[in-house]
Structures are given as structure tokens and as C-alpha cells.
């Protein structure tokens, strides 16, 4: 199985400032939609694809996340925790959490509920032989997302949160990645953004590919999106 021995890193350390005052007392990954924490949906989808080695990159109210999930045994997975200190950004958090990884790995943003097909995504990534593969989805309003320009499957331009008129397409970063360790050559050990400081700068140097995600995708990073996810998830089998 292609997913065997693959490790996934879930970025779950954000402050959740756009979901305050709720996140004053509870970290965003533990906020519940249809009675289940956001982070639990993500872990369950990984387990569905036999990806059971998971690192949670945590910071804000980290003890509550660790207390809730523990070893991960109840969900059929093995959880490790990487405490992020000093707000390293997505780039710095990934580099710290993945310091011991020597092979292909997965990274997932911890505030999206999505049924990514990681089995198929990994197969395409291996076939394309690039440094990374980004899950993409199509939206009408691109101004709050990372947007790509594609040549067939290859990403030839990546723009983080462009103005609508400057966007190269309507295909956006859906918050899940298959990456090779070589990506660390382009990520600072200090605070950095994987999207802005890395992806935007490597499309002319390395092969970066897009994977079209056609399934459920509900971002939950602000109140409007959170309540949309809560409402729409009723109608979908996850």
C-alpha cells in the first residue's frame, strides 16, 4: 500500500483569533462541528487511508489538545506532539515537526474539514516526481486563499491571497500537501510561511504539482465559514 509508513503532520497550533471569544477558552482544533472536534475529522480521514503515524504541531492551549486525544489509540492512530513555541508560522512549524523525517510526508492545515483522497494524491505525487503536490479546489472568491496557475498539472505560479483581478485562476490551495524532504532547503528555521515564503518562490526552481480535490472541503477559520461548515456537513456523509 502506497500510504504505508507515511507520516502526516497536522498544523494545529494557531490562536484562532478570528473565532474569538470562543477560542479564549478552547483551541480552534477542539471546536466542535456536528458534535465532533474539527481535528477529529482530519485524523479520521487519515486513518481511512491507512495513514496512522501522525504528528500534531501544537502551541495555543496545547495541553487541552493533548489531553483530549492522548496517544490516539481510541482513533486507531499513533499520535506524537510537537510543541511550537514563538509562533513559527506554517513553514517554521513544519520544519520543526518534520526534523526527523527522511521520506515523503503529508502536511494538513488543522482548520479544514475535507475528505482528501490521500491514496490517490500520493500515487499522483509519486508519478509526477516533484518536490511537492498541493491539493486544489475551485472557488469563486479567491482573495482569501493561495491561488495557482497551472500548466497541465504543474503549478507554474503561486500567489498568496491576491486581489480578484490579479488572480491567475480560480484554483486555490485546499490546505493539504504531499512533500519531499528537499522542501526543507526552501524553508527558514525561523518564523516563515510555507505558502508565501516557500511556494511562491520555488515554482521556477522545482516541480510543484496540483491535485484536484473534488470532495468535501469546508474551511472553518472564521465565524462565517465555521457556521457554513456546521450547516452543510449535515447533508454530507463524511
pLDDT 10s digit of each residue in the chain, 238 long?
677 789 999 998 777 677 788 778 888 899 888 889 999 999 999 999 999 999 999 988 888 999 999 999 999 999 999 887 667 777 888 888 888 888 999 999 998 999 999 999 999 999 998 999 999 998 877 777 778 888 888 988 877 777 877 777 888 889 999 999 999 888 877 778 887 788 888 888 888 999 999 888 998 878 888 888 888 877 666 6
Task: For residues 192 and 88, give the distance between their C-alpha atoms in angstroms, rounded to a whole number.
Answer: 6
Tell me whether residue 38 is in a domain. yes
Tell me whether residue 146 is in a domain. no
Phi-psi region of 149 (alpha: psi -120 to 50; beta: other; left: phi over 0): beta
Here the contacts of 58-63 (C-beta below 8 Å, separation 24 or greater) are 58/12, 58/13, 58/27, 58/82, 58/83, 58/84, 59/13, 59/14, 59/83, 59/84, 59/85, 59/87, 59/93, 60/13, 60/14, 60/15, 60/16, 60/23, 60/27, 60/28, 61/26, 61/27, 62/13, 62/27
Total domain count for the chain?
A: 1
Tell me whether residue 15 is in a domain. yes
Tell me whether residue 192 is in a domain. no
Summarize pLDDT for 51-81 with one digit per residue, the tens: 999 999 998 888 899 999 999 999 999 999 9
Tell me whether residue 168 is in a domain. no
Positive or negative CA dihedral for 175, 54, 15, 24?
Answer: positive
Tell me whether residue 20 is in a domain. yes
Q: Which domain holds residue 53?
A: 7-135+173-184+206-235
CATH number for the domain spanning 27: value is 3.90.550.10
Tell me whether residue 124 is in a domain. yes
Task: For residues 211 and 103, give the distance between their C-alpha atoms in angstroms, rounded to a whole number.
Answer: 20
Tell me whether residue 78 is in a domain. yes
Active site residues: 161
Summarize pLDDT for 143-168 with one digit per residue, the tens: 777 788 888 889 888 777 778 777 77
Amino acid at each position: 500500500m502506497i500510504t504505508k509508513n507515511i507520516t502526516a503532520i497536522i498544523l494545529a497550533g494557531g490562536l484562532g483569533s478570528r473565532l474569538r471569544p470562543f477560542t479564549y477558552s478552547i483551541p480552534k482544533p477542539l471546536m466542535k462541528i456536528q458534535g465532533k472536534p474539527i481535528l477529529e475529522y482530519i485524523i479520521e480521514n487519515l486513518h481511512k487511508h491507512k495513514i496512522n503515524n501522525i504528528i500534531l504541531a501544537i502551541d495555543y492551549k496545547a495541553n487541552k489538545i493533548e489531553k483530549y486525544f492522548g496517544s490516539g489509540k481510541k482513533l486507531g492512530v499513533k499520535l506524537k506532539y510537537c510543541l511550537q513555541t514563538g509562533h513559527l508560522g506554517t513553514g517554521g512549524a513544519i520544519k520543526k515537526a518534520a526534523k526527523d523525517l527522511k521520506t515523503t510526508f503529508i502536511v494538513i492545515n488543522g482548520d479544514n474539514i475535507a475528505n482528501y483522497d490521500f491514496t490517490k494524491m500520493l500515487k499522483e505525487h509519486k508519478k509526477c516526481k516533484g518536490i511537492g503536490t498541493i491539493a486544489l479546489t475551485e472557488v469563486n472568491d479567491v482573495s482569501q486563499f493561495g491561488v495557482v496557475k497551472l500548466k497541465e498539472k504543474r503549478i507554474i505560479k503561486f500567489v498568496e491571497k491576491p486581489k480578484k483581478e490579479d488572480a491567475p485562476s480560480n484554483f486555490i490551495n485546499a490546505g493539504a500537501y504531499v512533500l519531499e524532504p528537499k522542501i526543507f532547503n526552501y524553508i527558514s528555521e525561523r518564523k516563515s510561511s510555507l505558502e508565501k515564503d516557500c511556494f511562491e518562490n520555488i515554482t521556477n526552481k522545482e516541480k510543484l504539482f496540483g491535485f484536484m480535490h473534488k470532495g468535501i472541503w469546508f474551511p472553518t477559520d472564521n465565524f462565517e465559514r465555521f457556521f457554513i461548515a456546521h450547516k452543510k456537513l449535515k447533508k454530507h456523509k463524511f
